[in-house]
């Protein structure tokens, strides 16, 4: 006695089409003969699930089955005939095969694979290429108007103009697959499509191949590619140059070229996204009494003002003096991290002036002496404790 189709799929009678599909997909992947070689029980269960899904996924057959059961279908899943598992019965069979086989051979045939699939006409999209380009910090920051690269790639054959055929001849429809590029192969009850062995899935054959490209339609060549580096690129930024990759076969679309940037570090600046950071040494008298200071930025000279008594670890922000924002307007900011510039040596006059300044503040002479010794060095300071 046949089992109830809903029971076979493990769903209730109110199951939606999506729930039916999900249940069948799960069973198909678990019970598929390729995953259970030699297991007759699994093979029968797989066939039973396929039969149940073929009925319940069809709106009209499902109505008849819900009302009359197996009897309404003539006692079988195919209207009185012995059920035959045919991939063309299922509107979503491509999706199921794509999930089962992933990105391999069948994934490419049925939509489970990635880009670059071969069309039935034989056209093939050209491969994408990648070029790693090293840039100076300045070129990455400000951009570069013209960069010219020499790229080795496959280009259309000049002799046959990409057709792959000898002059005066043309490609012919493959006699085995009749141009489809695929042939049906049956393994037991399971039927699948595979690339045609005669034309390798192209759908056509070349009786007289071009003597220069040997029927490939493409030849290896180094070509010049020019482009502009946008301002603000960073290490790892990818620039896509459309149609600058390898040419496709037999009229297929040309691939793309991806330029990946590697930016050299800079001794003065540290980059953080669109912002720049720089350590700036400032003479300590300027921090004490305040004043103006000229600073160099990536875009020229600028002036900052320091208030009297500015702390030694103060940070000054220069707006719009950082990195240009990619795909946006404006620039980041430049942060100046102030550091005290302590002289390593003093003249006699300078030492006397520092002494006078120290005494003017009063306090413990020995404590002050210890401070100056640390700043200027005990030998250079020239005083000894008694």
Q: Is 362 exposed, middle or buried (0-12, 13-18, 19+ CB in 10 A)?
A: exposed
List, for residues 103-134, the tens digit of each pLDDT value. 333 333 333 333 344 444 557 889 999 999 99
Contact 335, 320 (CB under 8 A): no
DSSP assignment of 209-247 equals B-TTTTTSSEEEEEEEEEEEEPTT--TT-EEEETT-SPP
pLDDT at 62 over 60: yes
Strands 144-156, 172-173: parallel, antiparallel or unpaired by DSSP?
A: unpaired
Q: Where does 5-83 sit in CATH, by number? A: 1.10.287.110
**How many alpha carbons fall within 13 Å on the CB side of residue 284?**
9
User: What pTM, to 2 d.p., does this model score?
Assistant: 0.58
Round to the nearest angstrom and report the end-to-end CA distance of the chain.
115
Give the confidence band of 237 by pLDDT, cuts at 50, 70, 90: very high
Enumerate residues 6+ apart whose C-beta is below 8 A from 3: 48
Cα-atom radius of gyration of the chain, to the nearest Å? 38
Which pLDDT does position 363 carry in this prediction?
53
Mean pLDDT rounded to a whole number for the chain: 81
Strands 182-187, 190-195: parallel, antiparallel or unpaired by DSSP?
A: antiparallel
User: In the CATH hierarchy, which top-level class contains the domain 270-341?
Assistant: mainly beta
Contact 362, 334 (CB under 8 A): no
Which pLDDT does position 369 carry in this prediction?
54
Enumerate residues 6+ apart whose C-beta is below 8 A from 369: 381, 383, 385
Q: Measuring CA to CA, how many Å separate 1 from each of 4, 23, 69?
A: 9, 22, 12
As separate numbers, helices (DSSP H) first and strands (DSSP E) second, the chain gives 11, 15
Closest CA to 60 of 47, 75, 79: 79
List, for residues 284-325, the tens digit of each pLDDT value. 899 999 999 999 999 999 999 999 999 989 999 999 999 999
**What residues does each domain of the chain span?**
5-83, 270-341, 348-381
Q: What is the mean pLDDT of residues 355-364?
A: 79
Which pLDDT does position 364 carry in this prediction?
55
pLDDT at 268 over 80: yes
Q: What is the mean pLDDT of residues 86-100?
A: 42
Per-residue burial over 315-327, b if 16 or more Cβ lie within 10 Å, else e, is ebebeebbbbeee
């Amino acid at each position: 006695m046949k089992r109830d189709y809903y029971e076979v799929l493990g769903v209730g009678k109110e199951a939606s089409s999506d729930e039916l599909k999900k249940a069948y997909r799960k069973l198909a992947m678990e019970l598929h003969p390729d995953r259970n070689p030699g297991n007759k029980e699994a093979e029968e269960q797989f066939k039973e699930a396929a039969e149940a899904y073929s009925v319940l996924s069809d709106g009209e057959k499902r109505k008849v089955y819900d009302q009359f059961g197996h009897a309404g279908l003539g006692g079988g899943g195919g209207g009185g005939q012995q059920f035959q598992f045919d991939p063309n019965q299922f509107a979503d069979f491509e999706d199921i095969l794509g999930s089962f086989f992933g990105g391999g051979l069948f994934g490419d045939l049925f939509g489970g694979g990635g880009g670059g699939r071969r069309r039935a006409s034989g056209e093939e999209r050209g491969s994408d290429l990648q070029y790693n380009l090293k840039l100076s910090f300045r070129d990455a920051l400000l951009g570069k108007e013209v960069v010219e690269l020499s790229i080795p790639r496959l280009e259309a054959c000049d002799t046959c103009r990409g057709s792959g055929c000898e002059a005066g001849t043309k490609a012919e429809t493959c006699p085995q697959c009749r141009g489809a590029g695929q042939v049906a192969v049956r393994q037991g009850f399971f039927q699948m499509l595979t690339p045609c062995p005669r034309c390798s899935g192209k759908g056509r054959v070349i009786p007289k191949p071009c003597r220069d490209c040997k029927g490939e339609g493409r030849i290896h060549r180094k070509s010049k590619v020019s482009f502009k580096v946008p301002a603000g690129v960073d290490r790892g930024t990818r620039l896509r140059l459309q149609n600058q990759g390898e040419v496709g076969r037999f009229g297929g679309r040309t691939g793309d070229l991806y330029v990946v940037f590697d930016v050299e570090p800079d001794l003065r600046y540290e980059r953080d996204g669109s912002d720049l950071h720089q350590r700036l040494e400032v003479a300590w008298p300027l921090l004490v009494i305040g004043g103006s200071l000229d600073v160099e930025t990536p875009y020229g000279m600028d002036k900052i003002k320091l208030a009297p008594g500015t702390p030694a670890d103060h940070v000054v922000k220069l707006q719009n003096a950082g990195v240009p924002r990619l795909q946006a307007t404006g620039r980041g900011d430049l942060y100046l991290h102030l550091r005290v510039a302590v002289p390593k040596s003093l003249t006699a006059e300078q030492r006397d002036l520092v002494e006078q300044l120290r005494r003017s503040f009063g306090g413990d002479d020995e404590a002050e002496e210890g401070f100056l010794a640390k700043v200027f060095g005990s030998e250079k300071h020239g005083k000894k404790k008694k």
